[in-house]
A and B are shown apart, each in its own frame.
Chain A
């Protein structure tokens, strides 16, 4: 959002992977196209999955204390509570917390699951320390904590964690199989969402450029081609964009399992055609304030 004004004034089409919700909601930028997702887009279906299929009733939520953590958690909390679940505890950890011991000790004892909205190495550290404290609770998460880039090192601690994301290295699409093989061969690691999102941007760009015969100088036509791109066979499956330039595509519920000696994000359920608004009406969604630390308000917190 910091470069929003600049992008508008320079009229530069931007393919973005940043999750800030308002970029495609209340402050939509006409030059913006986001093939990945908003911060909360994968959390919505996970909220429903946790309530309806995992039958979780009482969940604690713990996440990095900055915009991404706030938004990611908010989406989960909203849908989870709308489906009968209760978020009974909400903990925010500073981005640079060296140690989560004090937070882990505060987690209530009778939870059905703990949802982690930690990004990068924080998710890794949190899950590890959680297990070190002997806490075997079910882990739910956003699309960052058990990313493939760290999954092998996380090992047994992450087994069974269920996260929502628009990508998994296990996806069975031909484009993805080629991608995963190539990354494995060249970088000796599995691609996670961070690798996939930039690749998908490339796929969308490729599709749009083909549609306009490579004439990217005409900015308006180029932008239109990007927004109207309906790419059936990206790494993540079929992909198109809503009127704000945000992706509409599959969201996968993934479970960390061990397969042939490797840890993988196995896909256990697919929610097709998920937009940033989930099942809510677009106008009502936009009338509400943007997801934040205190919105939606957590009404079921227990002391």
Chain B
């Protein structure tokens, strides 16, 4: 029984970590480039789940629904960045508060449109039966989400390291003033990164829907996790978001399994330690 326990909890951890990466990568990029924690990020995730629910109700194919739902949230992200955040350029505190306000608005609109009951998103039929091996079972769908997260991580890595856009983003994260100085259109970069981040969160929401359901409160359940990932991994770093997501996945799953009485604290303890000893996180380039 012992080794089975370790295997299943490891699978749980990495599957959860994959989902967290989809949620947190966008958050990390936005935080790194624009120096603000986008407190509407949890709401973006939840909105994606709700969009996914409706698109699936309209019988759209699952993966298509994930893409379309994600882009829908991405558009909302662009609108928020261009028409709200940009008005407060230079006022970082104001921008953070405004993202909080937008998160409330999004949450209330979701409640209005989809009502308060939790909505399950149906996973694709083919992925419903659990994978059975070595005497135990594991939900197939979660492993597929993990695979997608890994593919997304690879795609983002290539974007950041091999494209001009990526180079510009990295320059903006490192030193916004200098980037402007060498002619990088930083304001347009902000919008692009917001589009990217919000879309990632939206796609994460749809993909997470069959596991977590879409329900009022999903936003506030997920946002602290994104914060912890980014604090641990460091803001502005894709590697940080990647490593951080899996660390949080492991801490969450093993922590709960091994010290269940500390379930409420198991994530925050490491976060506090990191803030005290390594405030910029493991790979961070931005002082929080």
Residues on A close to B: CB < 8 A? 65, 91-94, 96-99, 101-103, 105-106, 121, 124-125, 128-129, 132-135, 149-150, 153-154
Q: Is the CB of B213 within 8 A of A121?
A: yes
B221 near A153 with CB under 8 A, answer no
Interface string of B178-217 (1 = CB under 8 A from A): 0000000000000000000000000000000001110101
Contact string against A for B residues 226-270, beta-carbon threshold 8 Å, 1 for contact and 0 otherwise: 000000000000000000000000001110110010011000000
- Whether the Cβ atoms of B118 and A125 lie closer than 8 Å is yes
List residues of chain A with CB within 8 A of the CB of B132: 134
The yes or no answer to B166 lying at the interface (CB within 8 A) is: no
**A133 B263 Cβ-Cβ under 8 A:** no
Give A65's nearest chain B residue, CB to CB.
B263
Min CB distance, B68 to chain A, in Å? 23
Cα–Cα distance between A93 and B252 once the two chains are bound (Å): 12
A96-B221, A102-B256 are known; give 6 further A-B pairs, CB within 8 A: A101-B253, A102-B9, A106-B5, A132-B130, A132-B139, A132-B141
- Which of the residues B118, B211, B220, B257 comes within 8 Å of A129, measured between beta carbons? B211
Given the complex, which residues of A lie within 8 Å of B129, measured CB to CB? Answer: 134
| Overall SS of chain B's interface | helix
Determine which of B16, B119, B260, B263 lies in contact with A101 in the assembled complex, contact meaning CB atoms within 8 Å. B16
Knowing A105-B8, A125-B118, A153-B117 touch, does A134 contact B130 (C-beta < 8 A)?
yes
CA gap between A154 and B119 in the complex, in Å: 9
The residue on A at minimum CB distance from B253 is: A102
Task: Tell which of A65, A92, A105, A129 has the most Cβ of chain B within 10 Å.
Answer: A105
Q: How long is the Cα–Cα vector from A282 to B138 in the complex, in angstroms?
A: 47
CA A124 to CA B120, docked complex, whole Å = 9
What are 7 residue pairs bridging A and B, where the CB atoms are less than 8 Å apart in the complex?
Answer: A65-B263, A65-B264, A99-B12, A101-B16, A105-B257, A134-B138, A153-B119
User: How close is A8's CB to chain B, nearest CB, in angstroms?
Assistant: 32
Closest Cβ neighbor of B257 among chain A residues = A102
Residues on the B chain within 8 Å of A94, using CB: 263-264
Cβ of A187 to closest chain B Cβ, rounded Å: 10
Question: CB distance B130 to A133 under 8 Å?
Answer: yes
CA distance A91 to B129 in the complex (A): 26
Nearest 8 CB-CB pairings of A with B: A134-B137, A134-B130, A121-B118, A105-B8, A132-B139, A102-B253, A101-B12, A94-B263
Known: A106-B5, A149-B117. Contact between A101 and B15, CB under 8 A? Answer: yes
A153→B121 CA distance, assembly (Å):
10
Give the chain B neighbours of A98 by CB distance below 8 A.
212, 221-222, 225
B256→A150 contact, CB < 8 A: no
Q: Are B117 and A125 in contact (CB under 8 A)?
A: no
Once bound together, how far apart are the Cα atoms of A93 and B264, in whole Å?
9
- State in angstroms the CA–CA spacing of A65 and B266 once bound together: 15
Contact, CB under 8 Å: B263 / A153: no
User: Given the complex, which residues of B lie within 8 Å of A133, measured CB to CB?
Assistant: 130, 137-139
Whether B12 contacts A124 by the Cβ 8 Å rule is no
Closest to B140 in A: A132
State in angstroms the CA–CA spacing of A153 and B210 once bound together.
Answer: 12
Q: By CB atoms of chain A within 10 A, which of B120, B128, B222 has the most? A: B120
Roughly how many angstroms separate A242 CA and B12 CA in the complex, as a whole number?
48
Docked Cα-Cα span, A93 to B263, in Å, equals: 8
Shortest Cβ distance from A122 into B: residue:
B118
Q: Which of B5-57 contact A (CB under 8 A)?
A: 5, 8-9, 12, 15-16
Asked, given contacts A106-B5, A125-B212, A128-B120, whether A92 binds B139 with beta carbons under 8 Å apart, the answer is no
Query: Which residue of chain B has its CB nearest to the CB of A189?
Result: B117
A125-B118, A150-B117, A153-B120 are contacts. A105–B222 as well, Cβ < 8 Å? no
List chain B residues, Cβ under 8 A from A93. Answer: 263
Asked if A99 and B212 make an inter-chain contact with CB atoms under 8 angstroms apart, the answer reads yes
B1 → chain A, closest Cβ, in Å? 8
Q: Is the CB of B264 within 8 A of A101?
A: no
Q: Which of A96, A105, A121, A153 contacts B9 (CB 8 A)?
A: A105
In Å, the complex CA distance between A239 and B41 comes to 49
Query: Which listed residue, A103, A128, A134, A135, touches B213 by the CB 8 Å rule?
Result: A128
How many angstroms between the C-alpha atoms of A102 and B248 in the bound complex? 13
Shortest CB–CB separation between residue A161 and chain B, in angstroms?
Answer: 16
